[in-house]
Chain A
Amino acid sequence: MEHSLIVRLNDQVIFTSDQHWLYPLFELEDYLDQNKLIVQDLFLTDKIAGRAAACLIVRLGIKKCHIGLLSERAIPVFKGHNINFTYDTLVEHIQCRTEDLITDKMSIDDSWLFLRKRAGRVQGLSVRMEKITVRIDEKLVLGQLDLELGRGEQMVIHGANGVGKTTLLRVILGLIPISEGMIKVGDYLVGSQLWKQNRNVLGYVHQETVKNNFPISSGEVVQIGLGSLNVSKSETEYRVEVAMRRTGSFHLVNQPYLTLSGGEKQRVSLARCLCQNARVFLLDEPTTFLDQRGRDDLLLLLHELSRNEAPTMIMVSHEQKWIEKLNWPRKEMKGGKLC
């Protein structure tokens, strides 16, 4: 077999890839997104497939495939989803670290999201904070704090009021200077010249309080995400519409922002971050001032975001019940440190 992956439609080759690891399947995913094809009619031939590849093949919707070297761990996945598969050689295990990381407990969607993050095919950027110390008016707020998040990962930081949760977010945003330490967002060192030119990779959703009575429509709030970009009127309208539809808030486009409910404001703020093409979302107590319905809506929206655009998200919240429903990894802030 000359290519790593070959896809045929009615015996005619329509797609090939010579990439390694799981990249051929991700390339195929992009190809299928761009070309409207009936995926069930396709026949896929792959050189090697383990459990991870099997999960991706299932998620793509492929029903027929032939694998050169097949891991036994892939068989339950294929069988569980009625995939018609054949193989040349069957092995107990293939030498790949990813194979061990996909557990039986993970659903196909969970595996896909996990593999996307591992393949770097997510919008999110990594966040790394090393030995961060922040003093405000001589008072130590953050002391030698470390935090590391991979691309597209999420985290909730909780803790009592006044322990420095919001300060942590504002430090990442570059709004509060650090006394010691280093913060990196992707390849950008916070505070550097390069970061100053690219700081819109960070989207900030702060507590929704009625701060002022500035007359502004929801669509105009989303437009703020475009920052200083020089885009045409039609492009601006398009990007605002896409972002607002994505968060289910497009019907509010002409409504004054002030008249929106707390939940609607959060949707518009998240749309602003999407319009900004932010790759790290920093959410500060987003449930404050939300009623139960608003909280449920936000929960759904955040789940959807983490599955699709998959930005890296750091949220500060003290609402234990809601955090539990969200089911993101958690860290508690105590004494200026995360534990």
Chain B
Amino acid sequence: MDRETKLAAKRDERRKIVLELLSLPPILKGLIVLAIAGLTFPVTGVYLFRLNLLPLRFMLMHGAILGGALALAFQINPFWTTIAINLLLVIFMAKTSRSMNADAGQISTFFMVISISLAFIFIYKFNVPAKDTLTLLWGSLFTLSWAEVCGIGFFALVLTGFQFYFRRQLRALFFDREIAFTAGINESSLYYSVILLTAITVALAMKLIGALLLDAILLLPPIIASFQAKSLKGMILGSALWGGAFAIGGFLLSIAIDIPASSSIAALASLAFLIIYLIRKK
């Protein structure tokens, strides 16, 4: 057998393995969910950038770790617990920031620190195994139930609907909050809706690809899209396309070369970012 024939046989074998793996329900669910998340979640990345909410993202990531730790400690569903904790954090943050008239960034930093400290207290006191704790950091894509898949699909629909229905108001909010206010837009409600949706997105993304790598799906696609975008519409569509490409491409790559899906998504996104950045610089 010559070298080329050997390579072709190897390729065929690999293709067969990938197809076989995709026929397994957990893998198929993972692909469906990642495709949905990749195409829709980067929208919140655009929100995070436009409203300068990066400290909030840290708070939500740590909130999701607290949710995960609580779920592991009390052996309850981590998926819904992380969402609940993040929603609670957003409500606390909004209330505190309004009542104290304080900067949202400072308040979210406080909640970030308190969340992670509580998370480690729960992990320590309830003897949560270290390996389980690590799933919070790299996600647990293949343990999703169909109810969770449907939950993610429903949320993706809500997020897309929100973006489409409020596109003009969101554009005003991102352009200038004061101008949006004077144009009669209820910018305060819109702002908190954006934060709420971001909170859920971060919690879901944590479950899918983990705390350490969620930026690959949340932030890198909008950054790459912003290189070319001339309007919010362009930025949203570009983010969705890049996000979808990273999620699906990264997932298939992970099966093909047998590495964790979150890592391959992050690696693919980072590589794409680097190449596009270098091309732009030239």
Does the CB pair B171–A215 fall under 8 Å?
Answer: no
Given A220-B171, A221-B175, A228-B169, are A215 and B182 neighbors across the interface (CB < 8 Å)? Answer: no
Does the CB pair B230–A199 fall under 8 Å?
Answer: no
Given A203-B182, A214-B50, are A256 and B230 neighbors across the interface (CB < 8 Å)? Answer: yes
* Chain B residues whose CB sits within 8 angstroms of the CB of A276 once the complex forms: 182-184
Residue of B nearest to A228 (CB): B185
Q: Which of A204, A212, A216, A272 contacts B232 (CB 8 A)?
A: A216
Does the CB pair B186–A204 fall under 8 Å?
Answer: no
**Interface check A183, CB cutoff 8 A:** no
Residue of A nearest to B177 (CB): A175
Does the CB pair A206–B178 fall under 8 Å?
Answer: yes
Complex Cα distance, B138 from A65, in Å, reads 88
Q: Which of A198, A202, A223 contacts B168 (CB 8 A)?
A: A223
Does the CB pair B231–A200 fall under 8 Å?
Answer: no
Does the CB pair B183–A225 fall under 8 Å?
Answer: yes
Count A-B pairs with CB separation below 8 Å: 71
Chain B: interface residue total (CB-CB under 8 A)? 24
Residue of B nearest to A275 (CB): B183
Does the CB pair B172–A214 fall under 8 Å?
Answer: no
**Interface check A224, CB cutoff 8 A:** yes
What is the CB-to-nearest-CB distance from A208 to chain B, in angstroms, rounded to a whole number? 11
**Interface check B180, CB cutoff 8 A:** yes
Q: Which of B50, B171, B172 has the most CB of A within 10 A?
A: B172
* Chain A residues whose CB sits within 8 angstroms of the CB of B168 once the complex forms: 223-224, 226
Does the CB pair A204–B171 fall under 8 Å?
Answer: no
What is the CB-to-nearest-CB distance from A336 to chain B, in angstroms, rounded to a whole number? 21
**Interface check A80, CB cutoff 8 A:** no
**Interface check A162, CB cutoff 8 A:** no
Residue of A nearest to B169 (CB): A228
Give the secondary structure class of A's interface.
Answer: mixed
What is the CB-to-nearest-CB distance from A265 to chain B, in angstroms, rounded to a whole number? 12
Complex Cα distance, B182 from A203, in Å, reads 6
What is the CB-to-nearest-CB distance from A26 to chain B, in angstroms, rounded to a whole number? 29
Complex Cα distance, B178 from A216, in Å, reads 17
Does the CB pair B184–A224 fall under 8 Å?
Answer: no
Does the CB pair B226–A224 fall under 8 Å?
Answer: no
Does the CB pair B230–A217 fall under 8 Å?
Answer: yes
Q: Which of B176, B181, B182, B235 has the most CB of A within 10 A?
A: B182
Complex Cα distance, B231 from A200, in Å, reads 24
Chain A: interface residue total (CB-CB under 8 A)? 27
Does the CB pair B182–A202 fall under 8 Å?
Answer: yes
CB-defined interface of B222-245 with A at 8 Å, one 1/0 digit per residue? 000010011110110000000000
Given A216-B232, A228-B186, are A175 and B181 neighbors across the interface (CB < 8 Å)? Answer: yes
Does the CB pair B176–A199 fall under 8 Å?
Answer: no
Does the CB pair B180–A175 fall under 8 Å?
Answer: no
* Chain A residues whose CB sits within 8 angstroms of the CB of B178 once the complex forms: 173, 175, 204, 206
Given A204-B182, A224-B183, are A215 and B230 neighbors across the interface (CB < 8 Å)? Answer: yes
Q: Which of B50, B169, B179, B235 contacts A204 (CB 8 A)?
A: B179
Given A223-B168, A226-B168, A256-B230, are A214 and B174 neighbors across the interface (CB < 8 Å)? Answer: yes
* Chain B residues whose CB sits within 8 angstroms of the CB of A217 once the complex forms: 230-231
- Give the A-binding residues of B (Cβ under 8 A): 50, 168-169, 171-172, 174-176, 178-186, 226, 229-232, 234-235
- Give the B-binding residues of A (Cβ under 8 A): 173-175, 198-200, 202-204, 206, 211-212, 214-217, 220-221, 223-228, 256, 272, 276
Having A174-B181, A198-B184, one finds 10 other A-B pairs with CB under 8 Å, namely A175-B178, A175-B181, A200-B184, A203-B182, A214-B232, A215-B226, A224-B171, A227-B172, A227-B184, A228-B169
